[in-house]
Amino acid sequence: MSRPILRVEGLKVNFETSKGVSKAVDGVSFNLSKGETLGIVGESGCGKSVTALSILRLITPPGRIVEGEVWFEDRDILAMKEEEDRAIRGKEISMIFQEPMTALNPLFKIKDQIAELCTIHSVCGREEAKERAVDMLKRVGIADPAIRGDDYPHQLSGGMRQRVVIAMALALSPKVVIADEPTTALDVTIQAQIMDLMDELKTEFDSSLILITHDLGLLAESAKDIIVMYAGGVVEKGRVTDIFSKPAHPYTAGLLESIPGRGEATGGMLKTIAGSVPNLYNLPTGCRFSNRCHKAQDICHKTIPPLEEGGEGHYAACWFAG
């Protein structure tokens, strides 16, 4: 196997507040191969976005990375000086944020915001940067890019704003792109267009992609490998085909059964996972899913299960996996 372009090992992020310490990310590890798409899936609040922000060292107080390593090629990002990290952020690793309206500055024209990336990283001069910005707007499918480039974010539709954010993320041909819920606020038709666009541009720029979502349907079509997160930790990871056909963790199985048309319906109602996510300030002693799991036994409430390989490249953190 080739060396992964991005490797996260034992990442832990705490939020220390007056309520106590919240273990938002607790021992997350994964590899991202060159040219591949890795999916990260889980309910809201499971630590997906915090993991992504940690890779770029964008965690701010009261959040703090307390342990772990993030290796980009042969460099440990978490051990870098701030100026070294800034040189990578946006140029070699970029991020498509969850809500495009908050990712774009409302006071500047979209063409200028894309061009600014080029000038910040000294890729080209100001005029050439504006030309590159127009070219990127054209590549992401915005009609009349030279004209629309002079628009402000509020003058664009949600789908167009998302295309602008993608253009910004890919403007410098990064090696890794992190997409955090890139289609959440869009209708189904626009979602499909955005995902097709991202796949096309990922291939064109030979980038690797981390796709963060709660939508398993998106991952089924786009990702090669996925990791499933729950309450800050990884409960299952492996090939998307293996996990979808034979989920080893009860939480993953529950997520798949909740997909309309996939799980068995009872009385016309969708299947759901009973209970609620545990409070991250007061996590259970054993498995964090034990209070919602139909397989739970005494050991589940007492001891955290390790993430162990049950099949080739298929890992699950469950005492009764499969």
- Angstrom distances, CA of residue 167 to CA of 51, 157, 163, 220: 23, 15, 6, 24
When pLDDT is cut at 50, 70 and 90, the band that residue 227 belongs to is very high
Q: How many other C-beta atoms can be found within 10 angstroms of the C-beta atom of residue 39?
A: 25
Does the structure show a pLDDT above 70 at 266? no
Domains of the chain: 6-92+174-316 (3.40.50.300)
For all residues of the chain together, what is the average pLDDT? 90
Q: What is the pLDDT of residues 164-203, one digit of tens each?
A: 999 999 888 899 999 998 887 677 787 788 888 888 888 8
pLDDT of residue 145: 94
- Angstrom distances, CA of residue 143 to CA of 138, 160, 183, 307: 7, 10, 20, 48
- Angstrom distances, CA of residue 228 to CA of 19, 55, 211, 256: 27, 18, 12, 11
When pLDDT is cut at 50, 70 and 90, the band that residue 2 belongs to is low
Q: What is the pLDDT of residues 164-175, one digit of tens each?
A: 999 999 888 899
pLDDT of residue 191: 79
Place of tokens 């048309």: 261
Q: What is the pLDDT of residues 11-34, one digit of tens each?
A: 999 999 999 999 999 999 999 999
Q: What is the pLDDT of residues 37-86, one digit of tens each?
A: 999 999 888 999 999 999 999 999 999 999 999 999 989 999 999 889 88
Q: How far apart are CA 311 and CA 216, in angstroms?
A: 21
**DSSP run (H or E) holding 111:** helix 110-120
Provide the strand spans (E) within 97-232. 176-180, 208-213, 225-230
When pLDDT is cut at 50, 70 and 90, the band that residue 262 belongs to is low
Q: How far apart are CA 6 and CA 311, in angstroms?
A: 23
Global pTM reads: 0.91
Sheet strand arrangement including 6-17: 20-32, 6-17, 63-72, 75-76
